[in-house]
Amino acid sequence: MMIKKNFVQTLKNKTFTEIDRVGKYLIFKLEDVAFISHLRMEGKYQICKKGDILSKHDHVIFVLDEGMELRYNDVRKFGRMKLVDHDDYKKSTCPLSKLGPEPFEIELLRALSKA
């Protein structure tokens, strides 16, 4: 329960500044912190209007501007979220540090090296 409380307190009243992807991980960057999310088998994010009927599988709800919410829904509860340092999340976070380069980055490098 302490982990949940820390997660909520850390993200409370923060603003999303960017959303990135590395492999199968989504990185939600906020003003001074980021969190990494892996959807696993069935996890998904949905943008809903505040007051829309909640699903019993909506596990995390982020309140957005203009009466909207970002809801994390996961039937099997396999998905994961982890708070990380905003500046060097790729270096310091174990799952991301073990990933190779993105395939499109490799193709771009090959194309540039031939030019």
Digit-coded pLDDT (tens) for 46-102: 999 999 999 999 999 999 999 999 999 999 888 899 888 876 666 655 677 777 777
Q: What is the pTM of this model?
A: 0.77
Quote the CA–CA distance of 40 and 10 in Å, as a whole number.
Answer: 24
Report the run of H or E that residue 107 belongs to, with start and end: helix 103-114
Greater pLDDT, 41 or 67: 67
Quote the CA–CA distance of 105 and 108 in Å, as a whole number.
Answer: 5
Mean per-residue pLDDT, 38-53: 93
- In the chain, what percentage of residues exceed pLDDT 90? 44
